[in-house]
Amino acid sequence: MSTGNSIPLPIIGSEIKTACGDADNFAVNTPRALHKDKWIFFCTPLCQQEFIQDPSSSCYASQIESEVE
């Protein structure tokens, strides 16, 4: 995973989908990580850390599986 400086972020206040599938509004401090050139947004910093440590056991794991299919 990289810092993603060249991948643009959403506009502040715009609706985003989080890794667990919830809808939220993007803010400067929204927890996020870059995965396969795509921003993944998280509800909490803990979920973000779990993803960074092991994407396959994070709340985003089911979406990763569907990307492979």
Q: For residue 2, what pLDDT is reported?
A: 47
- Residue 59 is predicted with a pLDDT of 84
CB 31, CB 45: distance < 8 Å: yes
Beta strand 38-41 with 32-35 is antiparallel
Kindly report the number of other CB atoms within 10 A of residue 35's CB atom: 19
Alpha-carbon gap, residue 51 to 46, rounded angstroms: 9
Grouping H, G, I as helix, E, B as strand and the rest as coil, residue 6 is coil
- Amino acid (1-letter code) at residue 36: K
For residue 65, the surrounding DSSP H or E stretch is: helix 61-68
Mean pLDDT, the chain cut into blocks of 10 residues (69 residues total): 72 96 96 93 94 89 64
pTM: 0.80
